């Protein structure tokens, strides 16, 4: 490691345990492998990983792979840990607890150690537990980016799809802080949860008369904004429910749109992509993720933000594979957090 003056390299481990994907497979079968501890450039931190937050995309890519991966590939993008090696003068330094959202294209963070550029991390405030911080990056930043794209302000009406999901839970809370009237969809068993988070009106996403009931509740005007985390036919339905020139932020690939619908509604369509900040080598976007991380951490530290229910998963291939399957099965409302080491 070059210029790693803040820690004695000889004292660091040379190898580490990692959870890897040998090849994409529908069963999401993973393996435990001993690999080399990564070498770091001058602006990179070596972090001893303590917790990793699992996301639906982890399961999707375990099944389907990613075009820039080489195998075996270490999974995981949301991590919390302690800096154990950093170049002289680099902030944050050795001993700081940090949180970050990693590059999808590079090796992931389900390992005992990981490297990350120093400008892409956020220092965790005292009093915020590691497992709490690990629940924040992907879901929390996705919610914030979506609301920024939607330009949600005081008095707006917004529909947040899948309000009981991790992204939905954060989005409901931030939308209310911006003064919006929040409508959301959720399974009946989760209606009380989303109302507690601040949702004004909740609909059963399985209701066959969903559109009719939304229009009855909303009145003649459509939604000013929609956070669409479902995709497919739901995206088309949501545009129908928007006002003319309404705004929609999409987390999933876009469906084929009927041109008459586009002409009639003239929607402003935004795409939300955290991974793009890394895939396009946008330093500005990567730094912005660090700023958003600080906002999320501050919300937890000051008890202004409620986390989804946390479920700890052991650091082994079998349990993580099972957790990813649970994530993709649907109906999961919490955050699964892998405890790597302390």
Query: CATH number for the domain including 314?
Result: 3.90.180.10
CA-based angle 179:134:105, to the nearest 5?
A: 100
**Are 114 and 59 members of one domain?**
yes
**Are 26 and 112 members of one domain?**
yes
In a domain, 284, yes or no: yes
**Are 65 and 123 members of one domain?**
yes
CATH number at residue 260: 3.40.50.720
In a domain, 206, yes or no: yes
In a domain, 99, yes or no: yes
In a domain, 75, yes or no: yes
Residue 307 vs residues 136, 193, 259: alpha-carbon distances, Å = 8, 12, 40
End-to-end CA distance of the chain: 23
**Are 51 and 106 members of one domain?**
yes
**Are 44 and 118 members of one domain?**
yes
pTM of this structure? 0.94
Q: What is the mean pLDDT of residues 262-276?
A: 96
Structural domain boundaries enclosing 312: 9-135+275-339
Examine the pLDDT at 121 and tell me if it is beyond 70.
yes
Instruction: Count the domains in the chain.
Output: 2
**Are 220 and 149 members of one domain?**
yes
Return mean pLDDT, the chain. Answer: 95
Q: Find out whether the peptide bond into 92 is cis, omega within 30 degrees of 0.
A: yes
Q: What is the mean pLDDT of residues 79-106?
A: 97
Give pLDDT tens digits for 165-200. 999 999 999 999 999 999 999 999 999 999 999 999
């Amino acid at each position: 490691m070059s210029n790693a003056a803040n820690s004695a390299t000889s004292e660091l481990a040379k190898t580490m345990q990692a959870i890897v994907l040998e090849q994409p497979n529908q069963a999401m079968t993973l393996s435990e492998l001993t690999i080399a501890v990564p070498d770091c450039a001058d602006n990179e931190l070596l972090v001893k990983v303590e917790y990793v937050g699992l996301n639906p995309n982890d399961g999707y890519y375990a099944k389907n792979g990613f075009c820039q991966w080489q195998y075996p590939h270490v999974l995981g993008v949301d991590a919390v840990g302690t800096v154990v090696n950093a170049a002289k003068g680099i902030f944050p330094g050795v001993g700081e607890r940090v949180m970050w959202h990693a590059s999808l294209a590079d090796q992931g963070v389900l390992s005992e150690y990981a490297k990350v550029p120093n400008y892409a991390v956020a220092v965790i405030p005292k009093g915020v537990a590691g497992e709490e911080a690990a629940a924040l990056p992907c879901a929390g930043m996705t919610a914030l980016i979506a609301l920024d794209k939607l330009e949600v302000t005081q008095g707006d009406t917004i529909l947040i799809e899948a309000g009981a999901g991790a992204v939905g839970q954060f989005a409901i809370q931030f939308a209310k802080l911006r003064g919006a009237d929040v409508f959301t969809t959720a399974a009946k068993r989760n209606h009380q949860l989303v109302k507690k988070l601040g949702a004004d009106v909740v609909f059963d996403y399985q209701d066959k008369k969903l559109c009719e009931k939304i229009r009855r509740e909303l009145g003649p005007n459509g939604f000013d904004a929609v956070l669409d985390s479902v995709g497919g036919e739901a995206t088309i339905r949501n545009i129908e429910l928007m006002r003319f020139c309404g705004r929609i932020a999409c987390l999933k690939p876009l469906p084929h749109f009927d041109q008459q619908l586009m002409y009639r509604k003239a929607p402003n369509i935004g795409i939300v992509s955290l991974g793009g900040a890394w895939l396009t080598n946008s330093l500005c976007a990567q730094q912005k993720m660090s700023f958003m991380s600080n906002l999320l951490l501050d919300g937890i530290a000051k008890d202004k933000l409620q986390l989804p229910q946390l479920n700890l998963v052991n650091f082994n291939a079998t349990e993580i594979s099972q957790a990813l399957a649970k994530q993709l099965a649907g109906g999961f409302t919490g955050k699964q957090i892998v405890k790597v080491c302390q």
